[in-house]
């Protein structure tokens, strides 16, 4: 069912977005004066990511570029190195999460077998990376 797949992937997307904003690099956690900037960027991140996932396919690159530019401008207002690092982390997360979930939502509308096949490939690649990482 198209609506069920849409609801499932949007729920997983929101959970991944919330997890991404908590994966802040350690060098950014202890800087007290930038807490307002980081909290503003992290509050925008799930909203921007949700917008990118739900736009039509022909507008994804335009919307993603505009939202990334907006995040960059907001993050570099203070002209501080840690703000720029935080902005890079957030912008990369926007691109990484939004594009992958946008593709998954579009793929899930085609057929369930395509979705299961993609999930199987991702699972195998992650398992292979784990084994390779432990061996080498």
Q: Quote the domain boundaries for residue 102.
A: 2-135
CB atoms inside a 10 Å sphere around CB 126: 10
Token duo for residue 69: 């530019």
**Is residue 95 classed as helix, strand or coil in its secondary structure?**
helix
Contacts (Cβ under 8 Å, ≥6 apart) of 104? 9, 115, 118
Q: With a threshold of 0.85, does the pTM exceed it?
A: no
Contacts (Cβ under 8 Å, ≥6 apart) of 38? 24, 28, 86
Total domains in the chain come to 1
How do the pLDDT tens digits run along the chain, 136 residues long? Answer: 667 777 777 788 788 777 777 766 554 555 555 554 455 666 777 788 888 888 888 888 898 888 888 877 777 776 666 566 677 777 787 888 788 888 877 877 777 777 778 778 887 888 888 888 888 7
Could you say which DSSP state residue 109 is in?
T
């Amino acid at each position: 069912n198209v609506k069920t797949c849409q609801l499932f992937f949007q729920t997983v997307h929101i959970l991944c977005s919330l997890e991404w904003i908590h994966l802040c690099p350690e060098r950014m956690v202890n800087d007290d004066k930038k807490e307002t900037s980081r909290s503003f960027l992290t509050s925008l991140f799930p909203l921007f990511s949700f917008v990118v996932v739900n736009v039509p396919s022909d507008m994804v690159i335009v919307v993603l570029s505009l939202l990334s530019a907006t995040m960059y401008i907001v993050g570099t207002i203070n002209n501080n190195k840690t703000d720029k690092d935080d902005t890079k982390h957030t912008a990369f997360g926007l691109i990484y999460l939004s594009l992958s979930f946008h593709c998954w939502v579009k793929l899930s509308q085609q057929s369930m077998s395509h979705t299961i096949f993609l999930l199987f490939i991702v699972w195998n690649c992650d398992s292979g990376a784990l084994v390779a990482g432990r061996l080498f």
